[in-house]
Chain A
Amino acid sequence: MEIVRNITTTPPLFISTNPSHVKLNQLTHLFFSSNFSSHRFPNLHYNGNQRVVEAVNVDKLRIALLHSSVVVSVFCKPSCCEREKGENETFSFGRELMERVVPVSESNGELVGFGRAVSDNGLTASIHDIVVLPSLQGLGIGRKIVRRILRVLIARDIYDIGALCSEKERLFFEACGFGDDILGSTAMMYTRAPPTLSHYNSQDVKHAGRMLLLVPQSRQPLSSSMTND
């Protein structure tokens, strides 16, 4: 069963900023279909010569959605998402009519695009998890998602909007109007690993995808004798 991308024009879309329109099972399915992970350094396994990321933790995803300031979801009619070669679908006139007349919404559409932003609702925001179904990529849907996120953030008076981008994502964000920081800052991530595993118990080491991160030592409260640090 081959999937042929004979979709050259964007199908009718429904873009929503209502977080309750996102159903978690649809979202995990979208992540899976797009081979996307919320971890920056996800665990990978190899299926033949394809790199497949680990499945997302649904509970964590639910929490992440609850605490994201902006959640954008894009729906389209299921018939517009994929065309399977060699399958001739002819609908009855009534069904064809209903398909064309009823507008797509979150209840009758399939989730094909997603994006969210995390913000302190005052000064800064950062954009995460921009995902579009592979068969609909390259049509400008991702850019629509980012523009909608930007619109919502600007309406809340937040202009300091950043995004962490891998090599592939950099071109996409440049096309959306992002650029290197004019103040010349460097993006850094915490990647300190424990030197040897055997010395640390599970409390001192945390997993983030395939990264092993060392938890810094807790500062003990000082005794009340006179000491100089």
Chain B
Amino acid sequence: MITLSYSPLYCSTRNFQLPNPSLFANLYGGLAVTKRYPLRAAASLWDSMRSSFLNNNTSQLIEPLPDEEEEVPQEIVLVEKTQPDGTIEQLMFSSGGDVDVYDLQALCDKVGWPRRPPSKVAAALKNSYMVATLHSIRKSPDAEGNDQKELIGMARATSDHAFNATIWDVIVDPSYQGQGLGKALVEQLIRALLRRDIGNISLFADSKVVDFYKNLGFEPDPEGIKGMFWYPRY
């Protein structure tokens, strides 16, 4: 399945409509679930009434535009290598594209993560604040326009868009690990979150990767704050 995330026309259209593509996803994610639609409508009605009352014409359901000084770019080519046979391989970071759930499942299999129901994964990706991906694009010198694109890394963050954010599912293909790609993914997430003044950035790290995150500026149990999870008791 070919995703259009790196087609310039697709990216610029989404950029034109809304400044923050992940907010765009959240908006439609919220309206697509019929159960939650009335709540969203009520909240947006209250909000639009309040904003018109205060004569603040920038806030409807979409909050005011963030400062446009430095946008987190949609796509960056992080690495470009030329193989001996002439094929060019690009490693491209993207923050606005769609992730194919089955590509992600294949990647999770490679690192040995348990499988999760695809519908839930799709919903989780759609409703995440930001999904950062790394793709490897192979362009052979002879074939015109026939690029091979493969998902080799992903990280996502959920957030309430104001105070708290949690980073989940940071994953890099084992054959591409050790190059600083995971670091790039997480750093871009942090950058995007801090730009919106979302200050409580947390994550739950496996014991094996605690040092990896320490290196990125994360502190375990800061000031005694621990993570707890719910366990149903029967």
Residues of A that sit less than 8 Å from B by CB: 18-20, 38-41, 60-68, 116, 118-124, 126, 128, 150, 157, 159-167, 170, 173-174, 176-192, 203, 206-209, 211, 213-222, 224-229
Q: Which residues on B sit within 8 Å (CB–CB) of A213? A: 194, 199
Q: Which residues on A sit within 8 Å (CB–CB) of B203? A: 187-188
Check B218 against A39 for contact (C-beta < 8 Å).
no
Kindly identify which residue among A150, A207, A211 contacts B230, using a CB–CB cutoff of 8 Å: A150
Kindly identify which residue among B42, B187, B201 contacts A19, using a CB–CB cutoff of 8 Å: B42
Interface of B is mostly: mixed
- A215 to B187, alpha carbons, bound, how many Å? 9
Kindly identify which residue among A64, A124, A176, A184 contacts B163, using a CB–CB cutoff of 8 Å: A64
Q: Which residues on B sit within 8 Å (CB–CB) of A215? A: 190-191, 194-195
Is B78 interfacial (CB 8 A cutoff)?
yes
Instruction: List, sorted by A's number, 27 A–B pairs whose CB atoms are closer than 8 Å.
Output: A19-B42, A20-B39, A64-B160, A64-B161, A66-B43, A67-B160, A120-B156, A120-B158, A123-B116, A123-B168, A126-B166, A164-B225, A170-B226, A185-B205, A185-B227, A188-B202, A188-B204, A188-B220, A190-B219, A206-B194, A207-B197, A217-B187, A219-B76, A222-B76, A222-B80, A226-B81, A227-B80
Check B231 against A179 for contact (C-beta < 8 Å).
yes
Check A203 against B231 for contact (C-beta < 8 Å).
no
- A58 to B210, alpha carbons, bound, how many Å? 35
With A64-B161, A123-B124 known as contacts, the answer to whether A178 contacts B219 (CB < 8 A) is no
- A55 to B224, alpha carbons, bound, how many Å? 23
Is B179 interfacial (CB 8 A cutoff)?
yes
Is B93 interfacial (CB 8 A cutoff)?
yes
- A189 to B224, alpha carbons, bound, how many Å? 11
Check A60 against B163 for contact (C-beta < 8 Å).
yes
Check A187 against B221 for contact (C-beta < 8 Å).
yes
Check B80 against A120 for contact (C-beta < 8 Å).
no
Kindly identify which residue among B29, B70, B127, B225 contacts A203, using a CB–CB cutoff of 8 Å: B70
Chain B window 159-178, contacts with chain A (Cβ cutoff 8 Å), 1 for yes, 0 for no = 11111101010000000000
Check A186 against B205 for contact (C-beta < 8 Å).
yes
Residues of B that sit less than 8 Å from A by CB: 26, 29, 33, 39, 42-43, 45-47, 61, 63, 69-70, 72-73, 76-82, 91, 93, 116, 119-128, 156, 158-164, 166, 168, 179-180, 184, 187-188, 190-191, 194-195, 197, 199-207, 210, 213-214, 216-233
- A58 to B47, alpha carbons, bound, how many Å? 13
Check B159 against A121 for contact (C-beta < 8 Å).
no
Known A-B contacts: A118-B158, A120-B168. Give 16 more (CB < 8 A): A20-B46, A40-B225, A63-B160, A67-B26, A118-B159, A123-B123, A124-B124, A128-B160, A161-B230, A180-B226, A181-B228, A186-B204, A188-B202, A189-B222, A206-B194, A228-B81
Closest to A220 in B: B76
- A188 to B116, alpha carbons, bound, how many Å? 24
Q: Chain A CB within 10 Å — which of B123, B164, B180 has the most?
A: B164
With A163-B227, A188-B210 known as contacts, the answer to whether A19 contacts B123 (CB < 8 A) is no
Check B228 against A224 for contact (C-beta < 8 Å).
no
- A18 to B224, alpha carbons, bound, how many Å? 33
With A214-B217, A222-B77 known as contacts, the answer to whether A167 contacts B224 (CB < 8 A) is yes
Check A216 against B202 for contact (C-beta < 8 Å).
no
Minimum Cβ distance to chain B for residue A15 (Å): 16
Kindly identify which residue among B45, B78, B218 contacts A191, using a CB–CB cutoff of 8 Å: B218
Minimum Cβ distance to chain B for residue A194 (Å): 11
- A216 to B190, alpha carbons, bound, how many Å? 7
Check A118 against B42 for contact (C-beta < 8 Å).
no
Check A190 against B218 for contact (C-beta < 8 Å).
yes
Check B229 against A160 for contact (C-beta < 8 Å).
yes
- A215 to B166, alpha carbons, bound, how many Å? 16
Check A188 against B160 for contact (C-beta < 8 Å).
no
Check A219 against B79 for contact (C-beta < 8 Å).
no
- A73 to B128, alpha carbons, bound, how many Å? 25
- A178 to B119, alpha carbons, bound, how many Å? 27
Kindly identify which residue among B29, B72, B158, B227 contacts A187, using a CB–CB cutoff of 8 Å: B227
Q: Which residues on B sit within 8 Å (CB–CB) of A184? A: 206-207
Check B230 against A177 for contact (C-beta < 8 Å).
yes
